[in-house]
Structure 1
Amino acid sequence: MTGAKELDRFLAELTTERRLSPHTVSAYRRDVGTLLEFCAREDIESLDQLAVHHVRRFAAESHFRGLSPRSIARRLSAVRTFLAALVEQGRLTANVAVHVQAPKPSRRLPATLDADQVASLLEIKADDDLAIRDRAMLELFYSCGLRLAELIGVNVADVDAADRTVRVTGKGAKSRVVPVGRLALEAISRWLRVRATLVKGDEQAMFISRRGKRLAPRTVQARLNHWARVQGSPTRVHPHMLRHSFATHILESSGDLRAVQEMLGHSSLSTTQIYTHLDFQHLAHSYDEAHPRARRSRRRRQKTK
């Protein structure tokens, strides 16, 4: 097969010189192997006959066969690395795959809970120490739209009850001050009284375990899953879903994208703009439910069933 010897030498180099894992080497074998199979079908007898239009057709064929844009991007990356190695060795004069791009993946909208679902989730019957902690933790999570790492990193001193704010440290060690809602502050106040009986040494973390130490991410995830089941959530809830829900609900109420950007700690407004798509979905649903013409068409559809 065209390029088989070159591929074997390339894989040997990955193994012995670059010391890549067997799993990674296997992935290169599979991805570059698909290119060589393509060359065989196209009667390309040697890799120096490979042209840019061939690589584009290879990518298009991968897409036609149902490969996702992400998988095509990975496949093309492997091909570029393979051809670059051949150029470096003097076996090829140019890397014809360098400018061939995979199709852009469709942007997946984040999953959210509606306001009633969030309210149901947070109505935790705080009748023991862990329930009191978890209620405060989830209230703060949703009230401020925090990332999981930010929530875990909050210290007692970071919450200013008088000012109704919390200082959090986000990505890139950047800190920001976020408003905290009344219900979250009330839950935190109750938790702090319990926390005083559990804390060990000089631990500064706001949310601690029974052993008096800062919570681990998996513990927060497990407790959130626990309460989602107990409270009868209709869907599996993950930590970032509360952040997405916060952003969507604030945007629905205020329409202030810049304010949402600041509260979420996004460095770029384009990152925050995904929530405008969610907001549009909400508006479209409201239109379909409320607009006379939409209601009439829906009734008509029901009558024809």
Structure 2
Amino acid sequence: MGKYIQQTDMDAYRFYLASMEKSLATIEKYLRDINGFCSFAGGRTITKELVIAYKEKLIARYAVASVNSMLAAINGFLSFAGYGCCRVRQVRTQRRAYCHANTQLTKSEYLRLVDAAAKTGDERLNLILQSICATGMRVSELAFLTVDALWAGRAEVCLKGKTRTVLIPGKLQKRLKQYIKRHKIESGPIFVTANGKAVNRSNIWKAMKRLCAAANVEPGKVYPHNLRRLFARTFYHIKKDIAKLADVLGHSRIETTRIYIMETGEEHVRIVSKLGLVA
């Protein structure tokens, strides 16, 4: 092993990530972060001091969450490539009690998106939005929403070595059965492209963005994962059971689920204003 990062190290790490069943999007993100560090290193010997210097550069340019995400990718690679002694600590930060309203998709905005998809005649997109938001599925899990799953009333999702069951609400089942009947879909995934392949994240993301103007929703709020977050907040509002919600979402850590149900700053202010602690 040389004292600087070589292309063979990167190639081996890509293969390792794939063997760990990381998604293509995750692999590309990790490698982008690692390449950023490699550009900074510029062929210099890898030392902890060099990694710390890069960390300081990141802190000066990015939000803490972004810095920690990049450091996690770099630390993982350093351990894999034999530079474990050069790993650095992530930036410590206090957990936020609330999130910004301009990042959170509301139920009324979601319904406007669904309505806009219907009005533009995009029945597939209309039902994709409802399928994700009504079940809490990840967009990568839509391929498991098959004709067989629809008739069973549940989808058995197997990804990254884990299996979970996603229940399909009765009203959604009815609409999807009407959809597959009209489009003569007899087997396989319900949502497919013109060439018969299951729709992917990119297909859905671009289609959702096209709805923003008609639905009068800020584009920054409109992406598939925000539908899953809306499901989580709505479920928690009714059930008030974070452990159950974690199971439903397929989270292994409740700390992850806490992020999904975080209130906006406006809601936080409304709650503390009701405490009556100002004379």
TM-score scaled to structure 2, two decimals? 0.66
Is the Cα–Cα contact under 8 Å of residues 117 and 211 in structure 2 kept in the other structure? no
Letter in 2 for 1:260: L
Secondary structure of residue in 2 paired with 1:123: helix
In 2 relative to 1, CA 33–249 (structure 1 residues): closer, same or farther, beyond 3 Å?
Answer: same
Q: Render the CA deviation track for 1:25-80: whole Å, top value 9, x for unaligned.
A: 884363378999xxxxxxxxxx9xxxx9xx499559927972554498489859x7
Partners of 1:262 and 1:169 in 2: CA distance? 13
Tell me the residue number matched to 1:133. Answer: 124
Partners of 2:38 and 2:149 in 1: CA distance? 48
- Percent of pairs identical after alignment? 16
Q: Render the CA deviation track for 1:109-152: whole Å, top value 9, x for unaligned.
A: 69431121112222246478x62222222111100111111113
Tell me the residue number matched to 1:116. Answer: 108
* 1:1-305 correspondence to structure 2 within 5 Å: 10-11=3-4, 14=6, 27-28=37-38, 30-31=40-41, 55=49, 62=56, 66=60, 68=62, 69-70=67-68, 73=71, 98=86, 100-104=88-92, 111-124=103-116, 126=118, 131-160=122-151, 165-196=153-184, 199=185, 203-236=187-220, 237-276=222-261, 278-279=262-263, 281=265, 283-287=267-271, 291=274, 293=276
Secondary structure of residue in 2 paired with 1:245: helix
Q: Render the CA deviation track for 1:129-176: whole Å, top value 9, x for unaligned.
A: x62222222111100111111113311110247xxx421414325333
Q: How many residues align?
A: 248
Partners of 1:175 and 1:234 in 2: CA distance? 35
Partners of 2:117 and 2:127 in 1: CA distance? 12
Partners of 2:162 and 2:59 in 1: CA distance? 44
In 2 relative to 1, CA 61–226 (structure 1 residues): closer, same or farther, beyond 3 Å?
Answer: closer
In 2 relative to 1, CA 20–187 (structure 1 residues): closer, same or farther, beyond 3 Å?
Answer: closer
In 2 relative to 1, CA 203–228 (structure 1 residues): closer, same or farther, beyond 3 Å?
Answer: farther
Tell me the residue number matched to 1:301. Answer: none
In 2 relative to 1, CA 248–138 (structure 1 residues): closer, same or farther, beyond 3 Å?
Answer: same
Letter in 2 for 1:131: D
In 2 relative to 1, CA 195–104 (structure 1 residues): closer, same or farther, beyond 3 Å?
Answer: farther
Q: Report the alpha carbon displacement of residue 104 of structure 1 after superposing the two structures with TM.
A: 3.5
Task: Return 5+ residue gaps in structure 1 as ranges.
Answer: 1-8, 37-46, 86-94, 298-305
In 2 relative to 1, CA 261–223 (structure 1 residues): closer, same or farther, beyond 3 Å?
Answer: same
TM-score scaled to structure 1, two decimals? 0.61
Is the Cα–Cα contact under 8 Å of residues 140 and 200 in structure 2 kept in the other structure? no
Bigger RCO of structures 1 and 2 (CA < 8 A, at least 6 apart): 2
Letter in 2 for 1:28: C
Q: Render the CA deviation track for 1:214-266: whole Å, top value 9, x for unaligned.
A: 32332222222223333222333111111111112211222111221121111
Bigger Rg, structure 1 or 2 = 1
Q: Report the alpha carbon displacement of residue 191 of structure 1 after superposing the two structures with TM.
A: 1.2
Task: Return 5+ residue gaps in structure 2 as ranges.
Answer: 13-31
